[in-house]
Amino acid sequence: MSALPLPAGDALLWRPEPYRIERVRRDLADTFSLDLVPAGGGAPLAFRPGQFNMLYAFGLGEVPISISGDAEAGGPLVHTIRAVGPVTEAMRGLRAGAVLGVRGPFGSHWPVVEAEGMDLVIIAGGVGLAPLRPAIYYALRHRRRFGRVCIFYGARTPDDLLYKAELKRWRGEFDLVVDVTVDRASHDWAGKVGVVTRLVEGGGYDPLHTVALVCGPEVMMRYAARALLARGVAREGIFLSLERNMKCAVGLCGHCQLGPHFVCKDGPVFRLDQVERLLAVDEL
Amino acid sequence: MGEITGLDRLLGEHPFFAGMPPDVAKLLAGCARNVVFEAGRYVFREGGAADQFYLLRHGTVTLEVRVPGREPLVVDTLQEGDVIGWSWLLPPYQWSMDARAQTLVRTLALDAVCLRGKLDAEPALGYELFRRFVPVMGRRLMAARLQLADLYARPSGGRG
Ligand SMILES: Cc1cc2nc3c(=O)[nH]c(=O)nc-3n(C[C@H](O)[C@H](O)[C@H](O)COP(=O)(O)OP(=O)(O)OC[C@H]3O[C@@H](n4cnc5c(N)ncnc54)[C@H](O)[C@@H]3O)c2cc1C
Ligand code: FES
């Protein structure tokens, strides 16, 4: 049975609710995390690992951002955002006390409850660790319900590694495999260098009893999926989180269409066999 | 003979040579020896003669590109179970990068001159070796291409 709270019903999904920024964390030069609490008091919305919210910067626009906090902690709603364009750049400039609009939560979730009893392999690239962090929190909270738990994380350089302090802590857990690699480094980096897909070869998990959750740039996910298949993980056990531009987030406007799917409603988390044919194509 | 038999066993235990026919393992063991590198020591240097290759048994080796006026750039790390170097297979038999022990490193070094002689005389040995090297080369080439593609650069994707 799921230990996770159920998200709110559809009625609340059209109107942005005002949320106050309780705390801003500067994660990387261009990436920051916002802790949000309802401006009018009360508990933040409930969500499942892998779901996203539409965050509205008043007067500027709305962007889909995954929820990166702990679904069971009951604390503020956490989002980790990389500043890439007008809306996310504006959000980078916000300080504690500022107010954002929040609509959500939307979309499908990582099958963490369904994966209980299996080995869990989590593969993240770059800021793709953010949408996976709630799944990691779930696995840590319910560690005994899983077999082996592996976290494979790749980033561009050591300076681009997200949540460094947490990664260190997770690495210290004796029943967790945490393997980190970067694409390039100078000599003072004592860790691994190479693409994240190579980590899939290690970890000691049992491919026949593995559920894999993958999030990162689309090309990286495609190669990670191939590496998992080559290790013998079943297509049905591989899940990816996809991104497409969004507007309504409730399956009406068609902005996020990917072949027969709406990413906002059928995704963002898909099983590999649902999307693998579409992934080879650039824009659909 | 005892040393050769021991090396023979170590070769057979290394993943790179998994499932190797025993007679081929014996031939290779004749060209192998144990070599240890302390942390920080070079395994080989760019431009040097590629007169051996190494099976990594313990530790981590970095592959580095020298960049004038800058710290060397680490482009790959190799771990226990990996093989280091294929420049010995093809003329001009010169290393194209630096390889350095990041930790204490234990290897089995296979002498290339000895091997090349045996490869000429024993086509079956050549086949066994190429059969193992080609997939490794393919995987590393693919990995290098992905690194070049700079997957995580902004703003190709919001999450990169
Ligand atoms: C379901 C979902 C979850 C997401 N989760 C996160 C998250 O947790 N953290 C985060 O930082 N970002 C996340 N994103 C991406 C985020 O929504 C975009 O970066 C944001 O919309 C950019 O808006 P902007 O106005 O700042 O820049 P824009 O001007 O809209 O975009 C700037 C540049 O980024 C590119 N871009 C924008 N959105 C995307 C996208 N979805 N995929 C690929 N390229 C894009 C544009 O082509 C452009 O080159 C998610 C997207 C989706 C669909
Ligand atoms: S964003 Fe409108 S249908 Fe998905």
Q: Which two tokens stand for residue B112?
A: 């290339």
Among B62, B150, B155, beta carbon nearest to A85: B155
Q: Is residue A261 part of a domain?
A: no
Is pLDDT above 60 for A157?
yes
pLDDT score for B155: 53
pLDDT score for A180: 95
Q: Is residue A176 part of a domain?
A: yes
Q: Is residue A69 part of a domain?
A: yes
Hey, are the CB atoms on B72 and A187 less than 8 Å from each other? Answer: yes
CB of A32 closer than 6 angstroms to any ligand 1 atom: no
Q: Is residue A250 part of a domain?
A: no
Do residue A134 and residue A228 come from a single domain?
A: yes
pLDDT score for A283: 38
Q: Is residue A2 part of a domain?
A: no
Whether A52 and chain B come into contact, CB under 8 Å, resolves to: no
The DSSP secondary-structure symbol of B119 reads H
Pick from A48, A80, A106: which residue ends a domain? A106
pLDDT score for B25: 82
Within 8 A of B146 by CB-CB distance, chain A residues are: 195, 197, 219-220, 223
Q: Which two tokens stand for residue B49?
A: 């003669």
Within 8 A of B143 by CB-CB distance, chain A residues are: 194-195, 197-198
Do residue A101 and residue A145 come from a single domain?
A: no
pLDDT score for A9: 54
CB of B157 closer than 6 angstroms to any ligand 1 atom: yes
pLDDT score for B154: 63
Q: Rounded to the nearest whole angstrom, what is the distance from the C-alpha of residue A171 to the centroid of ligand 2? A: 38
Do residue A96 and residue A154 come from a single domain?
A: no
What's the domain count of chain A? 2
Q: CB-based contacts of A74: which residues, under 8 Å, 6+ apart?
A: A43
Question: Cis omega (within 30 of 0) on the bond before B15?
Answer: no
Look at the block and give the residue holding tokens 């099976």. Answer: B55
> Looking at residue A214, which CATH number applies to its domain?
3.40.50.80
Pick from A106, A128, A153: which residue ends a domain? A106
pLDDT tens-place string over residues A199-241 = 998 889 999 999 999 999 988 899 899 999 999 999 999 999 9
Q: Is residue A228 part of a domain?
A: yes
How many angstroms separate the CA atoms of B93 and A87, rounded? 54
Beta strands A192-193; A177-182: pairing state: parallel
CB of A209 closer than 6 angstroms to any ligand 2 atom: no
Do residue A69 and residue A144 come from a single domain?
A: no
According to DSSP, the residues that pair with A20 across neighbouring strands are A37, A99
Look at the block and give the residue holding tokens 């750049």. Answer: A89
Ligand with an atom nearest the CA of residue A54: 1
Do residue A58 and residue A165 come from a single domain?
A: no
Domains in chain B and their CATH numbers? 34-152 (2.60.120.10)
Closest chain B CA to residue A131: B159
Please state the rounded mean pLDDT for residues A179-185. Answer: 92
pLDDT score for A210: 97
Percentage of chain A exceeding pLDDT 70: 94
Is pLDDT above 70 for A44?
yes
Please state the rounded mean pLDDT for residues A183-190. Answer: 86
pLDDT score for A4: 54
Do residue A215 and residue A160 come from a single domain?
A: yes
Q: Which of A13, A108, A245, A246 to mutate to test the pocket of ligand 2 (most atoms within 8 A of CB)?
A: A246
Q: Is A66 left (phi over 0), alpha (psi -120 to 50) or beta?
A: beta
pLDDT tens-place string over residues A95-116 = 999 999 999 899 999 999 999 9
> Looking at residue A86, which CATH number applies to its domain?
2.40.30.10
Q: Which two tokens stand for residue B129?
A: 């070796």
Do residue A91 and residue A135 come from a single domain?
A: no
Intra-chain end-to-end CA distance of chain B, in Å: 55
Please state the rounded mean pLDDT for residues A19-48. Answer: 94
ipTM of the complex: 0.76
Do residue A37 and residue A92 come from a single domain?
A: yes
pLDDT score for A173: 85
Do residue A33 and residue A124 come from a single domain?
A: no
Give the 3-state DSSP-derived string for chain A, with helices as H, strands as E and coil as C. Answer: CCCCCCCCCHHHHCCCEEEEEEEEEEEECCEEEEEEEECCCCCCCCCCCCCEEEEEECCCEEEEEEECCCCCCCCCEEEEEECCCHHHHHHHCCCCCCEEEEEEEECCCCCCCCCCCCEEEEEEEHHHHHHHHHHHHHHHHCHHHCCCEEEEEEECCHHHCCCHHHHHHHHHCCCCEEEEEECCEECCCCCEECCHHHHHHCCCCCHHHEEEEEECCHHHHHHHHHHHHHHCCCHHHEEEECCCCCCCCCCCCCCCEECCEECCCCCCEEEHHHHHHHHCCCCC
Binding residues of A for [2Fe-2S] cluster: 248, 253, 256, 264
Q: Which of A14, A51, A253 to mutate to test the pocket of ligand 2 (most atoms within 8 A of CB)?
A: A253
Q: Is residue A262 part of a domain?
A: no
Q: Is B47 left (phi over 0), alpha (psi -120 to 50) or beta?
A: left
Hey, are the CB atoms on B159 and A85 less than 8 Å from each other? Answer: no
- In A69-118 the beta strands, taken as DSSP E runs, fall at 77-82, 99-106
Do residue A137 and residue A232 come from a single domain?
A: yes
| Sheet of B98-101, strands arranged across | A185-186, B73-78, B61-65, B98-101, B42-44
What is the greatest pairwise CA distance in chain B? 61
Do residue A41 and residue A69 come from a single domain?
A: yes
Q: Which domain holds residue A200?
A: 119-241
Do residue A194 and residue A147 come from a single domain?
A: yes
Characterize A248-271 residue by residue with b for buried, 16 or more Cβ atoms within 10 angstroms of its Cβ, and e for exposed: bbbbeeeebebeebbbbbbbbbbe
Q: Which of A252, A258, A261, A270 to mutate to test the pocket of ligand 2 (most atoms within 8 A of CB)?
A: A252
Whether the CB-CB separation of A227 and A206 falls below 8 Å is answered with no
Please, what is the average pLDDT of chain A? 90
Residue with CA nearest ligand 1 atom 6: A65
Find the helix packing angle between B22-29 and B123-148, rounded to 10°. 80
Within 8 A of B71 by CB-CB distance, chain A residues are: 186-188
Distance of CA A13 to the CA centre of its chain: 20
Pick from A204, A221, A241: which residue ends a domain? A241
Q: Is residue A191 part of a domain?
A: yes
**pLDDT averages per 10-residue partition of chain B, 160 residues:** 66 86 84 94 94 94 87 89 89 91 95 87 85 87 84 58
Q: How many CB atoms neighbour CB A165 within 10 A?
A: 7
Among B74, B150, B159, beta carbon nearest to A127: B159
Please state the rounded mean pLDDT for residues A60-64. Answer: 93
